[in-house]
Amino acid sequence: MTFDRIVQVLTESTSRRTVLRSLALGMSGRLLTLGGASGLAVEDKATAAARQKQHNDCPRSRRCKKRCCRRGETCKGGRCVKKQPPVHVRRSVHSLDESGPALTALARGIAVMKARESSDPTSWIFQANIHGTNDGAGANWNQCTHGSFFFLAWHRMYLYWFERILRKASGNPSLALPYWDYSESDQRIVPRPFRTPSSSLYVAQRNADVNAGQPPPAENAWMFDHSPAFETVNFFHTGSGTSFGGLQVSEALHSGGGAGQLENTPHNQVHSWVGGGSGWMGTVAMAARDPLFWLHHANIDRLWKRWLDQAGGRANPTGDGDWMNDTFTFFDENGTEVTMSGKQIVDTAQQLNYRYDDDGAASGAAAARREKGASAAGKQSVKELGKSKGAGGVDLGTDPVTVPIGLGAALPDAGASSTERRADAGVVLTLEGIQGTGVLGVAFEVYVNLPKDQQPSPRDDAFVGGVSLFGLQLQDAAAMGMGHTMMPAALSFDITGAVAGRRASGREVTVTLVPVNLDASRRLPKAPLAHLDSLVVSIVQ
Ligand SMILES: [Cu+2]
């Protein structure tokens, strides 16, 4: 048979399949290739056309069957509709039965992951090492981003891929990560399975109080309170401003030095409290080896959504090209490398197939306001009013330290202009160059213009927030491969309310830093616990 003849047969044939079969049996290599390739295409086209015809008839006849719908579609109410993957619901861990299917599946998935070799990207240790590790530089280890406006996005992606791995490992297709809602004071005690040594949910490396089922002292309630972060309207800040989500940077950094309000409190504070004096949660390198890490971060991820619900201009930085497009690398449930960027994670239900059990509580009107008044950008102008004296900075130890800051100009009359000023404008205190000395489980309460004879209390108006050293310790720097040179961290507090009506001292603001020992099982050493380079008071508008 000549080549021309074959083409003629192909063209004329009413049963192409038969011709192709005979071609495949009898032809030389060149023709076989030709016949095979074009034959398959012909066959596929015919099948596709038949399926398309069935599909076209289908919705009109209102008698669709599964087989007549296109691939990826299903028959619903007589019509072919796009198959929706199930939306997994992340629930409050305290709403789950301690021996019920959800926590049982969680424990099983973690046990399976822990049994895998650490070189396996779907193993417990490998996944934890993606966040941070002292085990050296493995592929894609030490990737977590803190101290910048990438913090929330990166951790959302990290949890998403981890949850997929965990779900497959558990064998339960409906597994979803629970979240730990410690904003409720009666829920700060973790459920029993997390405190039971025989459970895969337990680790010994925690604050002794956590594993003993002891709640934190009532005076530390502020560490679990997200409401000051929720009052912040702008997602990111520049310079010495304050924001919900962190410092605007062009590239994600392991430690960006500019944590947002939510990252500082409750995120960092809860890390330090759960970790205590020597536990894993207190350091970046070990934190993700504690199962509580994942429940803690699910809650932080949920609070990001609840913050958006507050509307009033709160919005994600979808206009920022770097935030939207910078890509990060993770692994899926098969151990295959995957990449993801901010634009793929803004809508958890639509894009990532998960939601929280309290999603949707915000009204449609609030959502509309959110779209209208979107102002993720922190276009703030910052004017420095005064700075602490002394080139050596300030050492913080076991005794409270008070630092005076002389102001070059009087503070504006906050009372008179409070209705006119922007929600994100005001008087800001910035602590610059914060670094821990390696003592874990310590926080500092920050007070402004605290009267000399007054006992400091976080319930007082003079209290403006707290400092956590999570991620700012020497051992964190080492784990991040930075030696002893960390990106200097700055933390800003809105002190507008605290200085209003407290200006008896004239052109001066005093800042008092009070150490808090988060681990009652040990005494703090009589040595510097942290160092600040300087304290700055600014006007932001
Ligand atoms: Cu964290």
For the stretch 80-94, pLDDT in tens is 888 888 899 999 999
Classify strands 394-396 and 530-532 as parallel, antiparallel or unpaired: antiparallel
What is the Å distance from ligand 1's center to 144 Cα?
9
What is the Å distance from ligand 1's center to 410 Cα?
39
Q: Which residues contact 119 (CB under 8 A, 6 or more apart)?
A: 126, 138
For the stretch 409-422, pLDDT in tens is 777 665 444 444 44
What is the Å distance from ligand 1's center to 452 Cα?
36
Taking the domains of the chain in order of start, what are their residue ranges? 3-82, 382-540
At residue 124's C-alpha, the angle toward residues 276 and 251, to 5°, is: 80
What is the Å distance from ligand 1's center to 293 Cα?
7
What is the Å distance from ligand 1's center to 289 Cα?
11
Q: Flag the least confident range among 4-8, 151-155, 312-316, 521-525.
A: 4-8
User: For residue 146, is pLDDT > 50?
Assistant: yes
Residue 424 has what pLDDT? 55
What is the Å distance from ligand 1's center to 382 Cα?
29
What is the Å distance from ligand 1's center to 290 Cα?
11
User: For residue 118, is pLDDT > 50?
Assistant: yes
Q: Tell me the backbone φ, ψ of residue 165, rounded to 5 degrees.
A: -65, -45
What is the Å distance from ligand 1's center to 296 Cα?
7
Residue 81 has what pLDDT? 81
What is the Å distance from ligand 1's center to 267 Cα?
6
Mean pLDDT of 429-445: 92
Residue 503 has what pLDDT? 54
What is the Å distance from ligand 1's center to 461 Cα?
29
Q: 377, 390, 374, 381: which is closest to 428 by C-alpha? A: 381
What is the Å distance from ligand 1's center to 378 Cα?
24
Q: How many Cβ atoms are within 10 Å of 345's Cβ, its own excluded?
A: 20
Written as one letter, the residue type at 497 is G
At 29, the pLDDT band (50, 70, 90 cuts) reads very low
What is the Å distance from ligand 1's center to 148 Cα?
13
| Cα–Cα distance list, 368 to 319, 363, 371 (Å) | 18, 9, 5
User: For residue 365, is pLDDT > 90?
Assistant: no
Largest alpha-carbon pair distance within the chain? Answer: 108
Mean pLDDT of 54-73: 67
User: For residue 363, is pLDDT > 60?
Assistant: no
At 16, the pLDDT band (50, 70, 90 cuts) reads very low
User: For residue 486, is pLDDT > 80?
Assistant: no
What is the Å distance from ligand 1's center to 294 Cα?
9
What is the Å distance from ligand 1's center to 282 Cα?
9
User: For residue 404, is pLDDT > 80?
Assistant: yes
Most confident listed range (133-147, 268-282, 488-502):
268-282
What is the Å distance from ligand 1's center to 301 Cα?
11
User: For residue 280, is pLDDT > 70?
Assistant: yes
Q: 490, 398, 488, 480: which is closest to 444 by C-alpha? A: 398
Residue 442 has what pLDDT? 94
Residue 77: Cβ-neighbour burial (10 angstroms; 0-12, 13-18, 19+): exposed
For the stretch 263-277, pLDDT in tens is 999 999 999 999 999
At 9, the pLDDT band (50, 70, 90 cuts) reads very low
For the stretch 211-243, pLDDT in tens is 999 999 999 999 999 999 999 999 999 887 889
Assign 279 to helix, strand or coil.
coil
What is the Å distance from ligand 1's center to 303 Cα?
13
Strand partners, 119: none
Strand partners, 90: 356
What is the Å distance from ligand 1's center to 297 Cα?
6
Q: Flag the least confident range among 38-52, 56-70, 227-241, 379-393.
A: 38-52
What is the Å distance from ligand 1's center to 145 Cα?
9
Place of tokens 């207190």: 282
Residue 413 has what pLDDT? 60
Residue 380 has what pLDDT? 65
What is the Å distance from ligand 1's center to 73 Cα?
39
| Better pLDDT: 489 or 403 | 403
What is the Å distance from ligand 1's center to 114 Cα?
20
Residue 463 has what pLDDT? 94
What is the Å distance from ligand 1's center to 527 Cα?
27
User: For residue 441, is pLDDT > 70?
Assistant: yes
Please, what is the average pLDDT of the chain? 83
At 65, the pLDDT band (50, 70, 90 cuts) reads low
What is the Å distance from ligand 1's center to 158 Cα?
11
What is the Å distance from ligand 1's center to 460 Cα?
28
What is the Å distance from ligand 1's center to 124 Cα?
16
What is the Å distance from ligand 1's center to 246 Cα?
14
What is the Å distance from ligand 1's center to 470 Cα?
9
What is the Å distance from ligand 1's center to 304 Cα?
14
What is the Å distance from ligand 1's center to 139 Cα?
21
For the stretch 288-317, pLDDT in tens is 999 999 999 999 999 999 999 999 999 999
382-540: CATH topology: Jelly Rolls (2.60.120)
What is the Å distance from ligand 1's center to 482 Cα?
19
Q: 333, 268, 301, 289: which is closest to 473 by C-alpha? A: 268
Most confident listed range (47-51, 140-144, 173-177, 432-436):
173-177
What is the Å distance from ligand 1's center to 367 Cα?
28
Q: Flag the least confident range among 14-23, 280-289, 295-304, 524-533.
A: 14-23
What is the Å distance from ligand 1's center to 116 Cα?
24
What is the Å distance from ligand 1's center to 228 Cα?
19
What is the Å distance from ligand 1's center to 441 Cα?
15
What is the Å distance from ligand 1's center to 280 Cα?
11
At 394, the pLDDT band (50, 70, 90 cuts) reads very high
Residue 139 has what pLDDT? 74
What is the Å distance from ligand 1's center to 360 Cα?
25
What is the Å distance from ligand 1's center to 268 Cα?
7
Q: Which residues contact 256 (CB under 8 A, 6 or more apart)?
A: 145, 146, 147, 148, 150, 151, 246, 247, 249, 487
What is the Å distance from ligand 1's center to 105 Cα?
23
